[in-house]
């Protein structure tokens, strides 16, 4: 028993530090491919900056196209991590241990990518500092009644909280890397570990800090996407001024976030050989959560459509029919299939709730949620109350390139992160392995890990 305890710790160290200590050709290939895509998109953006916004399809009356769609989408994806991780931490779900860091990383990178889009969307990005609340020479400050300024505060608060929520539990793991490495790597991780030793006081402070931050970060996460929804619902645009937009956006964000997390976990499991840590039961549990969010999303869409239909306002009904029967119908029904039908079938039927089933459903949800953001923005802006403001939007290559490259940017950041930080929290996993046997209920068919009630 005693030697097995040390052996378990050594096995965990060895398995989870392998990606940091060994570099295969696949790593360089991935960095080269995704880095190349990101570099190409950067060139596209520079072209937009030098040649002007005219090379995009964004023009009156549709001023928000692919860029704002991607902004809302990525802020939504960011709800995967910190929110899910915080909830699982608070309820002390034992199965969270291998999942939390994979999820928290998505939050930080998705927020960074999402926060880039308002800058990309600026014709003169070098004036981005005008968004910051500081007094100009005439003492005129940004308007705190503008939802865009609310975005600035909400996103920065969430980003700061998410970075701390991710980084603080990494400190004990940096100490493990410090102890297991030599040379330059040892020196770097010695600095990152901040002299961590593992005294009872340090463990208590870390766990208390994580509890406080979990409690604080949940309302912040909910507020962020509510405030992003205010960008729309505060505007007198048909189909936008709705009281359900806040919860509708939050539900959609969590939905797409879980899908992103499932994809990330499946990829990590496959390529980093983490089969011993990311079990099918983790996918099944998150798959059930995906199913619940699909039903909730379906409820919100039904609610939005039913209320609009009963209201029968001409401007809103025009958008209603444009999306359901006319020019946007193919995109609309693809969205419904991807976000509702696919997860309902794949996650609702137990036989399909496998890792492959979860990944297929998740890809569907990611596509569907991007389309949902697009269908909220473009049809309404292109068909407002009076005919003089009717117009169409045709995305141009530069927008498609930049929006598409953000997926490559996310993958690139994730690959680089997994190269320098253990992607599964080592100390939390060890704590889960050494739970006293009296606390562990026996494994059952329903709960294969046997620790789901902790």
Among the listed ranges 116-124, 295-303, 328-336, 430-438, the one in contact with another protein (CB under 8 A) is 430-438
The minimum distance between CB 199 and another protein, in angstroms, equals 6
Question: Looking at beta carbons only, is 420 or 431 nearer to another protein?
Answer: 431
DSSP 8-state secondary structure symbol assigned to residue 129 = G
Q: What is the CA 446 to chain-centroid distance, rounded?
A: 29
Number of Cβ within a 10 Å radius of residue 450: 14
- Report the residue from 40, 47, 202, 242 that binds another protein according to the rule CB under 8 A: 202
| Cβ at position 92, least distance to another protein in Å | 13
Pick one of 22, 50, 199, 445: the residue that binds another protein (CB under 8 A): 199
Between residues 29 and 276, which has the closer beta carbon with respect to another protein? 276
Eight-state DSSP code of residue 61:
T
Between residue 38 and residue 77, which ones bind another protein under the rule CB under 8 A? none
Applying CB under 8 A, which of residues 52, 54, 123, 219 lies at the interface with another protein? 219
- Comparing CB distances to another protein, the nearer of 203 and 321 is 203
Q: Which is nearer to another protein, 236 or 314 (CB)?
A: 236
Among 187, 207, 345, 444, binds another protein (CB under 8 A): 207
CA-closest candidate to residue 194, choices 216, 175, 213 = 175
Q: Quickly count: other Cβ atoms within 10 Å of residue 407's Cβ.
A: 16
- Spell out the long-range contacts of 307-316 with Cβ–Cβ below 8 A and sequence spacing 24 or more: 307/242, 307/244, 308/239, 313/238, 315/238, 315/383, 315/384, 315/385, 316/238, 316/239
User: Nearer Cβ to another protein, position 140 or 314?
Assistant: 140
Identified binder of another protein from the candidate list 217, 346, 377, 423, rule CB under 8 A: 217
Query: Hey, what's the torsion of the CAs at 453, 441, 169, 207, to 10 degrees?
Result: 70
Q: Which is nearer to another protein, 95 or 297 (CB)?
A: 95
2 contacts another protein (rule: CB under 8 A): yes
Main-chain phi, psi angles of 103, to 5 degrees: -75, -45
Pair of tokens at residue 280: 């099918």
Q: Which is nearer to another protein, 276 or 349 (CB)?
A: 276
Alpha-carbon distance of 264 to 85, in angstroms, equals 15
How many positions of this chain bind another protein (CB under 8 A)? 64
Q: Tell me how far apart the alpha carbons of residues 263 and 256 are, in angstroms, rounded to a whole number.
A: 11
Minimum gap (Å) between residue 242 Cβ and another protein? 18
Task: Select the residue interacting with another protein from 109, 117, 196, 374 (CB under 8 A).
Answer: 196
Decide: 38 and 413 in contact? Cβ < 8 Å: no
Contact partners, residue 172, CB within 8 Å, separation at least 6: 193, 196, 198, 206, 426, 427
Comparing CA positions, the residue from 423, 429, 427 lying closest to residue 265 is 423
d(CA 321, CA 327): 9
Does residue 205 touch another protein according to CB under 8 A? yes
Site for another protein in 118-137 (CB under 8 A): 133, 135
The C-alpha angle with vertex 13 and arms to 9 and 14, in degrees rounded to 5, equals: 115
Least separation in angstroms between CB 445 and another protein: 29
| Of positions 25, 92, 184, 197, contacts another protein by CB under 8 A | 197
Nearest CB to another protein, comparing residues 192 and 265: 192
Q: Does residue 337 touch another protein according to CB under 8 A?
A: no
H/E element, 15? helix 2-21
Q: How far is the CB of 20 from another protein (least distance, A)?
A: 14
Distance in angstroms (rounded) separating the CA atoms of residues 73 and 319: 21
Task: Find the binder of another protein among 23, 24, 160, 241 (CB under 8 A).
Answer: 160
Among 106-114, 191-199, 335-343, 392-400, the segment contacting another protein (CB under 8 A): 191-199
**CB atoms near residue 112 (< 10 Å):** 18
**Where on the chain is the footprint of another protein (CB under 8 A)?**
1-3, 5-10, 13, 133, 135, 138-141, 144-145, 149-150, 153-154, 156-157, 160-161, 164, 168, 171-172, 175-176, 179-180, 194-209, 212-213, 216-217, 219-220, 223, 227, 427-428, 430-431, 434, 436
């Amino acid at each position: 028993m005693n030697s097995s305890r040390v052996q378990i710790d050594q096995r965990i160290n060895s398995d989870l530090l392998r990606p940091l200590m060994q570099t295969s050709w696949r790593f360089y290939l991935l960095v080269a491919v995704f880095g190349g895509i990101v570099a190409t998109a950067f060139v596209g953006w520079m072209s937009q900056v030098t040649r002007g916004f005219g090379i995009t399809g964004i023009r009156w009356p549709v001023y928000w196209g692919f860029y704002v769609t991607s902004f809302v989408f990525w802020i939504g994806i960011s709800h995967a991590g910190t929110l899910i991780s915080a909830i699982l931490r608070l309820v002390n779900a034992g199965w969270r241990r291998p999942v939390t860091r994979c999820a928290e990383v998505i939050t930080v990178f998705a927020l960074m990518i999402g926060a880039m889009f308002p800058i990309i969307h600026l014709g003169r990005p070098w004036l981005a500092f005008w968004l910051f609340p500081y007094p100009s020479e005439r003492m005129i400050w940004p308007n705190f009644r503008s939802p865009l300024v609310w975005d600035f505060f909400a996103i920065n608060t969430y980003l700061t909280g998410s970075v701390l929520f991710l980084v603080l539990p990494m400190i004990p793991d940096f100490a493990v890397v410090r102890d297991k490495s030599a040379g330059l790597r040892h020196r770097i991780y010695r600095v990152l570990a901040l002299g961590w030793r593992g005294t009872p006081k340090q463990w208590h402070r870390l766990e208390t800090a994580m509890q406080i931050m979990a409690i604080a970060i949940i309302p912040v996460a909910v507020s962020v996407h509510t405030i992003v929804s205010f960008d729309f619902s505060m505007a007198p645009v048909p189909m936008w001024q709705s009281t359900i937009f806040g919860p509708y956006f939050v539900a959609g964000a969590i939905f797409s976030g879980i899908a992103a997390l499932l994809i990330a976990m499946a990829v990590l499991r496959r390529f980093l050989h983490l089969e011993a840590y990311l079990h099918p039961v983790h996918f099944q549990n998150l798959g059930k959560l995906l199913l619940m969010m699909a039903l909730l999303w379906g409820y919100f869409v039904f609610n939005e459509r039913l209320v609009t239909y009963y209201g029968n306002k001409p401007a809103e009904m025009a958008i209603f029919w444009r999306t359901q029967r006319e020019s946007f119908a193919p995109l609309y029904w693809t969205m419904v299939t991807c976000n509702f039908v696919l997860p309902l079938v794949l996650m609702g039927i137990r036989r399909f709730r496998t890792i492959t089933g979860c990944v297929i459903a998740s890809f569907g949800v990611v596509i569907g949620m991007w389309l949902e953001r697009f269908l909220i923005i473009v049809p309404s802006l292109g068909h407002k109350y009076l005919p003089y403001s009717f117009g169409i939007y045709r995305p141009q290559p530069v927008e498609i390139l930049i929006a598409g490259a953000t997926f490559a940017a996310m993958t690139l950041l994730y690959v680089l992160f997994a190269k320098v930080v253990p992607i599964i929290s080592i100390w939390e996993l060890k704590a889960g392995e050494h739970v006293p046997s009296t606390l562990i209920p026996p494994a059952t068919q329903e709960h294969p890990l046997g620790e789901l009630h902790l």
